[in-house]
Amino acid sequence: MDMRRRSLFAAAGAASAAAVLGGAATANASTLSAAQPAGPAGLVNPNAPLRDLAAAIGLRIGSAIIPQDINTPSFAAIAGTQLDVYTPGNEMKWQVVEPTQGVFDWSGADNLVAFAKQNDALVRGHTLCWHNQLPTWLTTGVSNGTINKTQLLDLLQQHIFTEVGRYKGKIWQWDVCNEFLTDSNPSQVNPNDFWIANAGPEVISLAFQWAHEADPHALLFYNDYNIGGEDGSNAKHNAAFALVQGLLNDGIPVHGVGNQGHLDTQFGWSPQRLRQDLQHFASLGLKVALTEVDVRTFVDGPTTQVPTNSLAQFAHPFEFTEMLKSVLQVPEAISFTMWGFTDADSWIPGFFKGEGYGTPWDVNQNPKQAFFSLQSELVLAAKGAPRRVHTRMPRP
Ligand code: G3I
């Protein structure tokens, strides 16, 4: 039944949301004409941008934003109209903001924050404590012994105070700690992770405490991949649950878990498990978010990114909307962020040989079926999904 409705979406395409809704059992077609704006009665305009549709239930829709997205007017127009939460793809990472010790470059991060303000969007800060994209001066210092454990912790504290302090009041959610778990079964905090190996396991608690001290208003997240139904065993989810539960038991200020959501059509994945995993995190009193959503598949080449398997045209929008539907069913899920919104500048072809097509907008920045499917789900959701409750927002 559900699949039938989805293939109808595929055939009907862009202008079809209202028509499709007219055929859905729960929707009242007479309330969903394109002429009707969102209003107090909860009516929605089916042609509205994603951000406006999601606003009806207090959900934010976002993307990683890289400088090209801000500097290219046609890209900026999509981000500005469709999305209302932005994550810097790289511009807040330590390697970028302090390439030489004591020499800072905030230009990319400042631009992102200004772009968000200009578009009345929020910002997800990404990321304070991660093994990757660290400055060479730091990793070299650790490996040659000129930076010892105490100094490393001091440097991290300074980094967090400086960066979180600089953007105090301007960041909605911070990815404080990123990707600390092993991909094994059972999974655990990786003893070989740069931070765990060199600064000790207490680094995770300390990073959250320092971030909270620097901006008590920001929502602080643990962020990772394969913790929402991707790995079959759910081993990594269980390790993430144990990690954040332990932090909460110790009184550490952790407020949310980010499930990245990088999917590939060649692998299995369970939408039901994603919903259950999000609910499981939420049962701890935490917010949850999808933070880096994309769905990659094999393509003819990086420039055109036409899927080589015809089933991908169904799998791609299906997996996007299943992720969104899981979010919609969990009131503690406050944002749905994609890792890039257009195939034109996606990270995927550069990282996964032969793959691409990962986002809802194609290489020419035209919306794909995934966009219209997301739009349709949001039109439906506005009629029934639970409203999100926001405990903290950046101060104006
Ligand atoms: O900026 C330099 C440029 O000066 C240089 O000429 C060029 C040569 O390769 O590299 C440029 O840096 C690249 C950087 O992206 C900016 O484009 C790095 O090589 C490249 O490794 C880096 O990749 C980023 C990747 O994280 C690093 O692991 C991707 O853009 C970024 O999208 C990706 O994001 C991560 C999240 O932070 C965490 N979760 C997974 C996600 C995808 O890998």
Nearest to 337 by CA among 276, 258, 278, 238: 258
From the candidates 98, 179, 230, 332, give the one annotated as an active-site residue: 179
Contact present, 303 and 261 (Cβ < 8 Å): no
Counting ligand 1 atoms within 8 A of each CB, the residue from 90, 94, 346 with the most, and so the one to mutate, is 90
Ligand 1 pocket, residues with Cβ under 6 angstroms: 89-90, 132-133, 178, 260, 292, 347
Task: Specify whether 355 is catalytic.
Answer: no
CB environment 337-346: b (16+ within 10 A), e (fewer): bbbbbbbbbb
Amino acid at site 167: Y
| pLDDT tens for each residue of the chain, 396 residues long | 222 222 222 222 322 222 222 222 222 222 233 333 444 445 567 789 999 999 999 999 999 999 999 999 999 999 999 999 999 999 999 999 999 999 999 999 999 999 999 999 999 999 999 999 999 999 999 999 999 999 999 999 999 999 999 999 999 999 999 999 999 999 999 999 999 999 999 999 999 999 999 999 999 999 999 999 898 899 999 999 999 999 999 999 999 999 999 999 999 899 999 999 999 999 999 999 999 999 999 999 999 999 999 999 999 999 999 999 999 999 999 999 999 999 999 999 999 999 999 999 999 999 999 999 999 999 988 778 999 987 666 654
Ligand 1 atom nearest residue 225's Cα: 39
Please confirm, yes or no, whether 98 is among the known catalytic residues: no
